[in-house]
Amino acid sequence: MDPAFTNLLTATASFVGGHFLLSSLPVRMALVERIGANAHRILYSIVAAATIYWMVSAYNDAPYFELWAYSTGLRHLQLALMFPACLLLAAAVTSRSPTAVGGEKMLSDPKPPAGVLTVTRHPMLWAFLIWAIAHLLGNGDVASVIFFGGFAVLSAGGMAHIDFRRQATTGSDWGPIALGTSAIPFLAALQGRTKVDWAGIGVARLALGVALYAALLVLHPYLAGVALVDVF
């Protein structure tokens, strides 16, 4: 294997594995007991920043080895997938969530889940998962499969990991959230466990998502060196 791909694989495994390791219950509890919660967050952030820098650098240095050919159809699919990703991201960053860092405080709120949580309790991770899948499909080379595949594994696995930790650490307090929401988008609504709170999501959040999507289309050549709007 090309050393550049080995470097990228190692960086990606370190980035993904570091997240799961430092947030796992045994390791987190041991570190918090030894160095405190704030120091654990700082350590987590340092490891995440260092490994993603390594990962991005390794991706940029990796040679291009094509697995499937460029396809206008795949690029259109990529553009289509990025639209819900932007909507979810906009809603996630402007909404409180029991699955976010510090979100345990919401579990004592007697109000039922509202807004984007009635779509999925993991809006941020779904945004990153869709983003990763879209870019993996739209590139089609070995380095992109490793790079974006790592983000996809982290996002998908992170949902199950967070749910497990919340259940283990909060017990029955997690019950109303688990019952009234779903990890898979719209599943709780389809099962009749909740109703999608479109009013709680709000026109402003949807507009922000549309604006983010438009901005990415315009700025993508400067951010990633690839123009997207010319495919139309």
Mean pLDDT calculated for residue range 60-88: 91
- Model confidence at 228: pLDDT above 70: no
Confidence tier at 93 by pLDDT (50, 70, 90): very high
- Model confidence at 232: pLDDT above 60: no
- Model confidence at 1: pLDDT above 80: no
Q: Alpha-carbon distance 85 to 97, whole Å?
A: 17
Percent of the chain at pLDDT > 90 equals: 62
pLDDT tens per residue across span 138-195:
888 999 999 999 999 999 999 999 999 888 888 888 888 888 999 999 999 999 999 9
Burial of 22 (0-12, 13-18, 19+ CB in 10 A): middle
- Model confidence at 33: pLDDT above 70: yes
Question: How many C-beta neighbours within 10 Å does residue 129 have?
Answer: 22
Residue whose tokens read 């920043």: 49
pTM of the model: 0.91
Q: What is residue 117's predicted lDDT score, i.e. its pLDDT?
A: 95
Q: What's the chain's length in residues?
A: 232
- Model confidence at 63: pLDDT above 70: yes
Please report how many Cα atoms fall inside a 13 Å half-sphere around the Cα of residue 29, on the Cβ side: 6
Confidence tier at 2 by pLDDT (50, 70, 90): confident
- Model confidence at 230: pLDDT above 60: no
Q: What is residue 51's predicted lDDT score, i.e. its pLDDT?
A: 96
Burial of 197 (0-12, 13-18, 19+ CB in 10 A): middle
| Mean pLDDT of all residues belonging to the chain | 90
Q: What is residue 215's predicted lDDT score, i.e. its pLDDT?
A: 93
- Model confidence at 214: pLDDT above 90: yes
Q: What is residue 231's predicted lDDT score, i.e. its pLDDT?
A: 44
